Structure 1
Amino acid sequence: MKIYKDIVQIREALLDGSFFNPEKLVADSVEDVIAAGAILAALPEIGEGVTEEGLILLQKALRLDPNNPKVYMKLGEYEKRADARVYYWNRLASSKYERAIKTHLAESGQDVWEDEDARAYLKTKAEYAKDLLKEDYADAAILEYRKILELDPKDHLNLKVFYGILLLEFEEEEAFEELLQMYKGQEVEAGFLFNHALYLFKKEKGRSPKANSLLLKADGLNPLITIYLMNAKLSLSWEDMQANGIPALDEEAQSYVSTARYLWKETKGTQRWLHNLHRRIVTGK
C-alpha cells in the first residue's frame, strides 16, 4: 500500500479514489477504531510543524478508520486550510457512507438503526456536528443534523429537539417547516412542541390560537419546562431550585431549558405569554 510523504499527494489520492479500497466504508473492527484514536492522540500539534512521521501515522489512521471525522479534521489542520476541516469529511467519507446506507434502506426496508453498532455511525456524525458548531460552521452543522434525521427518521439519538432549537436560533424557517412536516401526526417530545409554539409566536408576532394550543400541550407533557422558561433569571442550580420551592428538573427539562431558554428570553412577549398560560392552568381563568 502506497505511503505518501506530502499532504497534497494525500489529498489528491483521496479525491481521485486511489487512497482507499472503494468498498471499505468503515473500520473493520472496534479494535481498529481504538487504534486510530490512539494514533490521533499521538499526532503532533500543528504548531509543531507537519513531520513525515506525522503524515505516515495520519495515513495509517485513515486506513484503519476511513469514516472518522476527527481524522479528516486533522488532515484539514495539516493542510492549514480552515475550510478543509469541513470539506474533507463531507466530500470524502460521510457522503459515500450515506449513499450506501440509503441504498441499503431502499433495498431491504429494514431499520438498520435498531442495531446499536449501526447507531455508532450516527453518533459519530452528531459529534462532528457539535465540533462544527464549536468552530462556528453553523451552516455545515445544520446540514449534518438534517442528514442524520433524513437517514434516521425515527430519531434514535433524540436529536430533533436540539436541531429545532438550532434552526430557531439561525432563523432557518424553511428547514424548520421541513422538520415539522417530517414529524407531522407523530407523537413528539415536550421540547419539540415548545419549539413549535415559539416558532409560531415569532412568525405571527405574538400569540395565536395554534401557538396557545401547542404551548398547553407541551406544558401537559412537562410543566417544569414552563416554570423555568417563565423564570428567566432563575439559575438551574439545585440550591436555587430549593430556595424558590421549585421541584428539581428532570433530565428532559434540564436538557431543554439549558439549551433553549435564551431563545425564549430574547423573544419579546414570551414572558407574559408564559405567565398568562401558567396562571390559566393553575387558576382555570
Structure 2
Amino acid sequence: MLWNDQIVERRDCINIEDRGYQFGDGIYEVIGVYDGKPLLLTEHMERLERSAREVQLTLPSSISNLKNRLEDLVSLNELEEGIIYMQVSRGAAPRWHEFPADDISPVTIAYTRPEERMTTIENQGATAILTEDIRWLRCDIKTLNLLPNVLAKQKAVEHQAIEAILHRGETVTEASASNVFIVKDGELYTHPANNFILNGITRKKVLQICKESALKLHEETYTVTDLLEADEVFITATKLDVIPILKVDEHTIGTGSPGKVTKKIVKAFRALYEQEV
C-alpha cells in the first residue's frame, strides 16, 4: 500500500486522532484498473486536486508524483483487474473542530483491490430504488463524508437492487454511488454538474461519447415522474461503467430490457476504454 510517499507492506493501524477518522476531514478517489493499467488516471487526479482546493487541503506532493506512485502500486501488486482506493486526510492532531496548526501534515493512503468487470450486468441490466437525497449541499466535492450514501446503498441492497436513485423533492439528482441518465424519444438527460452531484469521471466520458456520436444530450434537471416515464435509464460510475436500469421500485422502465441508446453508449464506452489503456 501507499503510506504518504512510501510504498510499504499493508498496515491496518490508524491514529485515533486522524481527522479523516474523526471528522471525515479528507478527500478520496477510486480509480479503475483494466488489464493492468489505471483508466483515466489524469482525470481522477485532476478531480482530487479540485476537491483538495475546495476543502482548503494542501496535497502532500505533486499530482505528477501521485500518479507515478499509484502506477508503481499497481505494478508492484501485479493487479490486472480491480481498483485503486486513495484518500488524503488533513492529518492527525488533537481533536478540535478548526484546522490544525500548519506543522500538521496531511496523511495519504492508497491500496489496490482485485475486482472483476460487471460485464454480465452491463449486458443484461439491473434494478434500482428511489430514496430521498439527504446529503449536504456540496456533493460536488469527493469527501470522506459518506454516511447518507451508505444508508441509501444499504436500502438498495435490502431491496435486491443495484442502486438507490436519489431525489430532492421531485428533482432527481444522482444515485448513492453513481450518476443517472435517462433517455426519452432518443435524447439523453442528466442532472447538471453543480453542487448537488459529483461530476463522475465516467459521466464526463459519456458526455464526450454523446458529442462524438451526435446524440442529443441535455444537462438539465428532470423529475421523478420523468425518470419513471423514460424510455431508458442507465447509471455510470468507475468500474461499474454503464449499467442499464430496467426497473425502479415497482415501475418497469421502457420495454423492461436494455434500450438501443444505452447499448450504443455501452459499446462506445468499451471502445473508448480499449483505446485509453
Q: TM-score, normalised by structure 2?
A: 0.28
Higher relative contact order (Cα pairs below 8 Å, separated by 6+ residues): 2
Answer with 1 or 2: which has the greater Rg: 1
Higher helix share: 1
